């Protein structure tokens, strides 16, 4: 590849989901392949913000990040791509100081565009956005090895056709498209060759992975597990209504699959779930978690997202959510307050929950989550766990166990390797211990 970005310092900032993380990784990798230097701080020639628009709060964080980057480097080339960029008002983006706005399905154009603008100068602001609802192409951005993380986020699916009533994502990410399996496997082979041992298969609606005739996520996992050098496989978020018996069987037969699943519940009340158009009931979710535990073991960590204060959420409906979380033994729970997304059906639903009640409910979900997660962490005290070392110094290491709890340990091990740690104690969801010989 031509060294079009030689000598250029590029900053990449990511907000939002694991699919955004995989796109940020791929952007960093593509920029490095053109000889750019990816920097986390200090001056930069160009910055790329991979943006999110899933909630009103996500929009606010995007604007905040844009202002911060602009303040940092008033003359630098500022690119904003992804979900916020897809829907952003052009005037607002201009006023915030954005130079290049790139919507979804066009991110693979960014490396060449940045190289051109840096060498020729920016004559005028650039806007690259298409009609994602009528675009079934796969955006060909790819990574040849993790640059920003020790584990590799590999995007295999994009978009969503489910249209939950509150969700803006199908409008800004477009229709569901899947990446061809051979292309996924090619990327994973180069990632492993670069020394990475863990891959995180990511997508907006990952369970909807249908690449070629008869292709499924289960079949993909089996093939990824067959790539020599892949020691750990994880999933990004997986919609509960897309988990079937075949997938569970394949996961249970795949030792490399990490015992952690993130299954967004959103609500534990059947009336609210129906109005959300989720496609599952509270009972379906509880049954699914029971089946997962039978297949993958009692100790599997199930984490979730909850959308708190959906219009019409009564105190009883909210209590139903807390009960489902407790009954299913859910670990880490991300609680998001409902915010109306313009253009979605739920934006005009009556019976909005007042802000102070909304904040109180978010706090209660988070407190209950912290308590359950701490109890889950205590299961590991006194035992040995295996971590993928993300950070290491001469005297300490840090990394994640397959069940997605963070470990801090004394001792040494090389970054990117898998180390054994004897866990002395759990402090909340953090495990503390020391590295021991394998």
- Closest contact distance (angstroms) between CB of 63 and ligand SF4 is 22
The sign of the dihedral angle between the CA atoms of 168, 46, 184, 238 is: negative
Distance (Å, rounded) from C-alpha 333 to C-alpha 410?
29
Among 299, 359, 286, residue whose Cα is nearest residue 325: 286
Binding-residue pattern over the window 332 to 371 for ligand SF4, x denoting contact by CB under 6 A: ----------------------------------------
Locate all alpha helices (DSSP H) within 226-267, ordered by sequence: 245-252
CB-nearer residue toward ligand SF4: 24 or 204: 204
Quick check: 239 binds ligand SF4 (CB under 6 A)?
A: yes
x/- track of binding to ligand SF4 for residues 41-70 (CB under 6 A):
------------------------------
- Name which of 97 and 271 has its Cβ closer to ligand SF4: 271
Which residues pair with residue 46 across a beta bridge? 10, 77
Q: What angle do CA 175, 181, 183 make, to 5 degrees?
A: 95
Cβ-contact 78, 99 below 8 angstroms: yes
Q: Closer to ligand SF4 at the Cβ: 169 or 435? A: 169
Q: How many CA atoms lie within 13 A of 62 on its CB side?
A: 29
Rounded least distance, CB 184 to ligand SF4, Å: 20
As measured in angstroms, the least distance from the Cβ of 236 to ligand SF4 is 11
The number of beta carbons lying within 10 Å of the beta carbon of residue 411 is: 18
Nearest one of 248, 320, 332, 245 to 282, comparing CA atoms:
320
Nearer to ligand SF4, 157 or 392 (CB): 157
Question: In the complex, what is the shortest distance from the CB of residue 230 to ligand SF4, in angstroms, rounded to a whole number?
Answer: 27
Half-sphere exposure of 338 (CA within 13 A, CB side): 30
| Chain center to CA of 63 | 20
For residue 19, the minimal CB distance to ligand SF4 (Å) is 10
Min separation Cβ 160 and ligand SF4, Å: 3
CB of 204 to ligand SF4, least distance (A): 5
Query: At a CB cut-off of 8 Å and minimum separation 6, what does 408 contact?
Result: 396, 397, 398, 430, 431, 432
Count of residues that interact with ligand SF4, criterion CB under 6 A: 10
Q: How far apart are CA 109 and CA 384, in angstroms?
A: 46
* Shortest distance, position 17 Cβ to ligand SF4, whole Å: 9
> By C-beta, is 86 or 392 nearer to ligand SF4?
86
Site for ligand SF4 in 155-214 (CB under 6 A): 160, 162-164, 167, 169-170, 204-205
Minimum separation from the CB atom of position 15 to ligand SF4 (A) = 16
Nearer Cβ to ligand SF4 (205/234): 205
In angstroms, give the least distance from the CB of 163 to ligand SF4: 5
Helix (H, G, I), strand (E, B) or coil at 278: coil
280 binds ligand SF4 (CB under 6 A): no
SS3 223: helix
Q: Residue 29 or 216: which CB sits closer to ligand SF4?
A: 216
Q: Is 275 in the site for ligand SF4 (CB under 6 A)?
A: no
We find the least distance from the C-beta atom of residue 6 to ligand SF4, in angstroms, to be 39
Token digits of residue 13: 């900032």
34 vs 280, beta carbon nearer ligand SF4 = 280
Considering the complex, state which of residue 47 and residue 206 has its C-beta at the smaller distance from ligand SF4.
206
Dihedral over Cα of 393, 395, 400, 405: its sign: negative
The rounded distance, in Å, linking the Cα atoms of 367 and 158 is 33
Nearer to ligand SF4, 52 or 419 (CB): 52
Per-residue CA distances from 329 to 162, 189, 333 (Å): 27, 36, 11
Q: Which of 254, 251, 284 is nearest to 270 (CA)?
A: 284
Contacts of residue 60, defined as CB under 8 A and 6 or more positions apart, other chains included, come to none
Burial of residue 98 (CB within 10 Å: 0-12, 13-18, 19+) is buried
Nearer to ligand SF4, 163 or 253 (CB): 163
Q: Which is nearer to ligand SF4, 139 or 239 (CB)?
A: 239
Report the nearest approach of ligand SF4 to the CB of residue 197 (Å).
Answer: 29
The tokens for 356 are 């102070």
List of residues contacting ligand SF4 (CB under 6 A):
160, 162-164, 167, 169-170, 204-205, 239
């Amino acid at each position: 590849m031509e060294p079009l970005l030689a000598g250029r310092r590029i900053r990449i900032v990511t907000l939002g989901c694991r699919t955004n993380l995989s796109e940020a990784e791929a952007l960093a990798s593509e920029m490095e392949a053109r000889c750019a230097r990816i920097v986390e701080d200090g001056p930069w020639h160009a910055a790329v913000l991979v943006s999110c628009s899933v909630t009103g709060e996500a929009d606010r964080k995007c604007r905040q990040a844009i202002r911060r980057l602009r303040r940092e480097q008033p003359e630098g080339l500022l690119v904003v791509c992804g979900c916020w960029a897809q829907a952003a008002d052009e005037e607002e983006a201009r006023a915030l100081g954005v130079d290049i706005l790139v919507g979804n399905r066009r991110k693979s154009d960014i490396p060449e565009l940045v190289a051109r603008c840096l060498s020729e100068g920016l004559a005028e602001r650039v806007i690259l956005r298409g009609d994602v609802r009528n675009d079934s192409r796969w955006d060909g951005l790819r990574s040849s090895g993790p640059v920003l993380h020790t584990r590799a986020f590999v995007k295999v699916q994009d978009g969503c056709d489910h249209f939950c009533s509150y969700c803006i994502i199908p409008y800004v990410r477009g229709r569901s498209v899947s990446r061809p399996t051979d292309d996924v496997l090619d990327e994973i082979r180069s990632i492993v060759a670069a020394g990475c041992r863990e891959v995180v298969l990511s997508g907006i609606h990952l369970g909807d992975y249908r690449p070629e005739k008869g292709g499924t996520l289960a079949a993909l996992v089996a093939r990824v597990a067959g790539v020599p050098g892949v020691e750990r496989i994880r999933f990004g978020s997986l919609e509960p209504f897309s988990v079937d018996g075949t997938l569970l069987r394949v996961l249970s037969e795949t030792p490399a699959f990490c015992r952690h699943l993130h299954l967004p519940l959103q609500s534990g009340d059947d009336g609210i779930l129906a109005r959300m158009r989720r496609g599952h009931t509270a009972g379906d979710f509880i049954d699914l978690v029971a089946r997962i535990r039978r297949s993958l073991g009692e100790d599997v960590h199930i984490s979730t997202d909850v959308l708190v204060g959906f219009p019409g959420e009564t105190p009883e409906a909210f209590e139903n959510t807390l009960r489902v979380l407790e009954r299913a033994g859910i670990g880490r729970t991300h609680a998001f307050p409902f915010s109306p997304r313009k253009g979605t059906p739920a934006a005009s639903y009556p019976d909005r929950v007042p802000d102070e009640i909304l904040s109180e409910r978010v706090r209660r979900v988070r407190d209950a989550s912290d308590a359950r997660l701490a109890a889950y962490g205590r299961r590991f005290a006194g035992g040995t766990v295996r971590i993928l070392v993300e950070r290491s110094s001469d005297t300490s290491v840090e990394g994640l166990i397959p069940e997605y709890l963070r470990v801090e340990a004394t001792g040494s091990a090389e970054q990117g390797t898998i180390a054994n740690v004897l866990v002395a104690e759990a402090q909340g969801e953090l495990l503390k211990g020391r590295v021991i010989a394998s």
